[in-house]
Amino acid sequence: MEPIKATGYFFTGPNLAFEKKEFEINSLADDEVIVQVAGCGLCHTDISFLTGQVKTKHELPLILGHEISGTVIQTGKHAEQFKATKVVIPAVLPCGDCDICHSGRDNVCQAQLMPGNDFHGGFATHIKVPAQHLCVLPEPLGDIKLASFSVVADAMTTPYQSLKRSNLKDGDVAIVIGVGGVGTYMVQHGKNIGATIIALDIDEKKLAHAKTMGASHTICVKGMAEHEVKKAVRTLVKENSLKKFGWKVFEMSGTAPGQMVAFSLLSFAGTLGVIGFTMEKVNIRLSNVMAFDADVFGNWGCSPKYYIDVVNDVLTGKINVVDNVEEHPLDDINKIIPLALEHKLEKRVIFTP
């Protein structure tokens, strides 16, 4: 193959600025492709790597970034059908051939690979990836930039997998706790299925945005105790003659207080989805799950098989991506990261090389 000259931002150690470096891609396996990156989203997981809270599986230095869209510019012998296609690279790449994959739970395949964790990711001009699970975008893309599709990986598909797992239906009550970069898509997926969405957050601005994304009701829970939140939700449900049981609660905040509120909102035949992640423990009466005949689930990313559904929802306007992302040149990455650390970003950041 013709070697590819690429540039990437390398993570060299906790709390250090990324190092810009050129590198060369000069080999390609039969089942791999090289993607010219159009955009790569900045995810909470990248921040966890950056602060040293979570360790990458691959040794450092490593290029982070796992929400990637781009154009295939070279293909291995067995991946020629991907030539010149525009793609989203799934954040989780299952092996496709183990017992877990065969059981339909490929998003937790134990041999899975994750860009920007197991191998060089998307904060770069180019990336080499296995072709098997690439999500090929149906063209034309209309008004939506190729870079914007990057957030399909993870931010948009993880809550879609949650939707599937929760079995949310038309007419159900969905309570979304935390309507930030991922929660805002949970609101949209739930709305698209016909559920009534109650959005909870501690930030009035995010709640106002959630309303424009399809939330029917919002409650600012800042400073409220769990029992006060529960009372407020119950009052709202009563006043609006919504279903009194079987609530589906989606915990997207990834905080212990968020999880405590979420658990306290379990109702008869209710469901709690744990989607946000925190290392913190919570003190809960687990037996409530029994007393309420309830379900709790969590999902690790999303199976690549669902990506195309979400892409189609973006293309048909059922999912609004434009108002939920902001683009920045990749060369500004070391300026943007501090803003992310200080929670000063209002929208999902996409870096464009």
**Residue 146 structure tokens:** 């190729």
**Minimum distance between the CB of residue 100 and a copy of itself, rounded to whole angstroms?**
6
Q: Are strands 173-177 and 196-201 parallel, antiparallel or unpaired?
A: parallel
Instruction: Select from 93, 136, 119, 97 the least CA-distant residue to 302.
Output: 93
**How far is the C-alpha of 28 from the C-alpha of 26, rounded, in Å?**
7
**Minimum distance between the CB of residue 246 and a copy of itself, rounded to whole angstroms?**
7
Please, which residue, 287 or 316, has the CB nearer to a copy of itself? 287
Instruction: Select from 321, 187, 320, 200 the least CA-distant residue to 258.
Output: 200
**Minimum distance between the CB of residue 318 and a copy of itself, rounded to whole angstroms?**
26
Please, which residue, 85 or 158, has the CB nearer to a copy of itself? 158
Site residues (vs a copy of itself, CB under 8 A): 99-100, 103, 105, 107-108, 110, 243, 245-246, 254, 259, 263, 268-269, 274-300
Q: Which long-range contacts (CB under 8 A, 24 or more apart) does 130-133 make?
A: 130/29, 130/31, 130/32, 130/93, 131/31, 131/32, 131/33, 131/75, 131/76, 131/78, 131/79, 131/82, 132/31, 132/93, 132/96, 133/90, 133/93, 133/94, 133/96, 133/304
Please, which residue, 5 or 227, has the CB nearer to a copy of itself? 227
**Minimum distance between the CB of residue 269 and a copy of itself, rounded to whole angstroms?**
4
**Minimum distance between the CB of residue 47 and a copy of itself, rounded to whole angstroms?**
16
Please, which residue, 84 or 279, has the CB nearer to a copy of itself? 279
**Residue 214 structure tokens:** 């399809």
**Minimum distance between the CB of residue 176 and a copy of itself, rounded to whole angstroms?**
15
**Minimum distance between the CB of residue 296 and a copy of itself, rounded to whole angstroms?**
4
CA 179 to chain centre: 12
Query: 324 φ, ψ to 5°?
Result: -115, 5
Please, which residue, 184 or 303, has the CB nearer to a copy of itself? 303
Please, which residue, 208 or 296, has the CB nearer to a copy of itself? 296
Please, which residue, 23 or 277, has the CB nearer to a copy of itself? 277
Q: Cis ω on the peptide bond leading into residue 159 (within 30° of 0)?
A: no
Q: Is 198 helix (H, G, I), strand (E, B) or coil?
A: strand
